[in-house]
Amino acid sequence: MAHDANWAPLSPYSTGIRGRCPRCGQGHLFNGFLTLRPKCEVCGLDYSFADPADGPAFFVICFACVPSVALAVWIEVMFQPPFWVHLLISLPVLILTCVLPLRPLKGWLVNSQYFYKAEQGKIDRGPGNPQTGDRQGG
């Protein structure tokens, strides 16, 4: 990422939520709803570093799906409405709170990975590490 020194660091919040390139802030991050583009069409940044995995889905499940389902259960227990009421109230609430946040969250996670230079963890196998069998001072 030596070429990155020519670019000013951008906030992962503002670029990620808008689905913009983490380096230039101009190019698009997504090709479709949740599919990442191979690279930025403006600055050419390769997006292969990005791996948000199930992070967006996890956040949505924890902070949006659970309260939405709780609302649907509360409506059912308190009012015992017919099924069509859930179709008109619960289903739209579930869709709005569970599907719409996925893209901004994925953009934020990808941009955060770039901003903080996140990478896969590595095990230190240097001298003095108990995992290598090389014990010092004993």
Q: Map out the domains of the chain as residue ranges.
A: 7-117
Dist. CA 50–CA 57, nearest whole Å: 16
Give the burial class of 40: count Cβ atoms within 10 A of its Cβ; 0-12 exposed, 13-18 middle, 19 or more buried. Answer: buried
Cβ neighbours around 64 below 10 Å, total? 20
- Confidence bin at 138 (pLDDT 50/70/90): very low
Upper half-sphere CA count for residue 133 (Cβ side, 13 Å): 0
Residues 3-24: pLDDT tens digits? Answer: 677 888 999 999 999 999 999 9
Q: Give the angle subtended at the CA of 103 by the CAs of 112 and 39, to the nearest 5°.
A: 65
Instruction: Kindly report whether the global pTM for this prediction surpasses the value 0.75.
Output: yes
Q: How many residues does the chain have?
A: 138
- As a whole-number percent, the residues of the chain with pLDDT over 70 amount to 88
Q: Give the angle subtended at the CA of 105 by the CAs of 99 and 110, to the nearest 5°.
A: 135
- Confidence bin at 127 (pLDDT 50/70/90): confident
